[in-house]
Chains A and B, each alone.
Chain A
Amino acid sequence: MNEVLLELRGLSRSFGDRVAVGPLDLAIHRGELFCLVGASGCGKSTLLRLLAGLEPPDAGRILFEGRDITDAPPHLRPLNLMFQSYALFPHLSVRNNIAFGLRQARLAPAEIAQRVEAMLALLHLEDCADRHPRQISGGQRQRVALARALARRPPLLLLDEPLGALDRKLREATREELRRLQAELGTTFVLVTHDQEEALSLATRMAVMSAGHLLQIGTPHEIYTRPARREVAEFLGRVNLIEAVVDRCTEEQLECSAAGGLALRAHSPAALVPGESLHLALRPESIRLSPSDSSLNSNPHLDHGPDRDPDPRPNHDRGVVTGISYLGNHSLLAITGRSHRRWLVQVGNDRATQNLPAVGDDVGLSWDTEAMVVLGA
């Protein structure tokens, strides 16, 4: 499983003085579904084009099973690309689109017919086999493009935003389909998407890309729960970012303080010097809410506002609910804490909905040491 199929070494490509890709290093393992995720314009499509040979790199090497294919023309590469626009041949029927690459490979007609039928069945395209691309729906076109690329049984399939043009419902169904296909065929997939949810749900491993560089590579779980950098944390899901200064740093524990006397405690990732400033990330779903501590609240000397005495306990804060958006299975609460800090808190709607605070309520916030992620850079 961990055998390296494709390796990129110092690969880079610029257009004029705009750097589109890298230089970057990456290893793709055989059999994995690798997602490259990043905002549009981050260079992920260019990276795929470099891999497919449609664009020459400025520097770096591409190795396939240890063999250098950097200078191989596209028609000799052991991979296929599913284009974002599908690029189906408008003058050929669905059947002939799928057979195109097989005819080019000069397979026996019987073999071609058999493989095309298998592809039509695999992707549920039997009903529109003899229609032309403009006569079928967007979802069908997407499946034809996939079938055409898969028909050659490439060891590696590149997919450029394969679900981009589909509506939400179809996208979710197709996601399942892709995962099933990938597992069934054992083909290695490298999939490019701007949709973080898609990447998290599909990938066995993924990389977050920004400005031509890979910010972090890992499993979706690793990247979501332990983002290495601020950009990664912000790109994947919602996050509370806290700027803090190191107070004390031991082997296991890091203690810092943020504006408004907020005390924070996290597992220390590395040796940090007191006085150093850093960013911490906290996912909205990691925060627990409690009715505001009455003993503190009833203190007549305290204002009922965001600027009250600090809660001395680490990883605790108090605030006022300023907004609630109801999102079906969960709600997002905007809470203004000390020093006008804006907290985003996610509350599941499956339990104790009657306890959901209302706008204007005072609430206490707390979270575990494990939930705090120290971000690099």
Chain B
Amino acid sequence: MTLLQKILGAAAACALSAGAALANPGLVIDMGGKFDKSFNEAAWNGAERWKRETGGSYRDIEMQDEAQREQFVRRMAEAGSNPIVVLGFQNMATLEVVAPDYPETTFALIDGVVDLPNVRSIIFAEHEGSYLVGMLAALASKTGTVGFVGGMDVPLIRKFACGYAQGVKAVNPDARIIANFTGSTPAAWNDPVRGGEIAKSQISQGADVVYAAAGGTGIGVLQAAADAGVYSIGVDSNQNHLHPGSVLTSMLKRVDNATYEVFMAGPAVETGIVVMGLANGGVDYALDEHNAALISAEMQAAVDAAKAEIIAGTRMVHDYMSDDTCPALTF
């Protein structure tokens, strides 16, 4: 029996048993790579947590090329993985094409919306979380100038920046916000050196809090802020522990939870659009022993009040992606 026959046989067998509880979940990681200390790694952490807790096993794969988007998602489905978590908004187009071909397989797309019956679209209200850390930044700033270091200049990151700027202005309408993006290629997600340089430049312009929404690039931003003795704000995962006393807080985007939940629920996971916001713990600001000394009771009270208002719908945070504009920041 040749290997190919084995593979085809296995694929066929799995296809037959698709939907059965026996199927293992799969994780398709976008081109940034598995260990980016941020978005992708958060998803992987969620999968690993599921593995630890259930003793199950899953298949994961990292893309390298545009043509592999469809190929890898198909291969994953043909290998019998179910459900399949696909990371990254750039795979919206991929799932639009691939998902209809595998109706028995359930897909979960993180950071994008695909309107198909077997796709769970998970999006995060990053603007809400960013709003809260923006408030904290303005409350902690003494200079009235705060910085934002984005990764690749794409709408999603502008959504972060816009929410952040609104939070800052809500506390201090006269605050100055310096927003920069690391680059225009996917390499911008993983360029800590450049991130550090941008942060230093912002600090030299007077910024004393810098928010990094830049994947692996953020590591350099946090380092630069710690070196200069100013505050920084982490993103996606809780990065408070990286430089205790310097990382003011982290904008949590619980990609790990989203992944974990899909894996736990199995192939029967509910499809449709799932918004992970402040209300359901999808985004939040991080408060732990590493930054407890930095967040005063007043600051916490102000932010928690805003959080309650946002959840209640009485305070509106504008979503940049709804109309490609931002009331608090010009790009």
A and B: interacting chains: no
A interface residues, Cβ below 8 angstroms from B: none
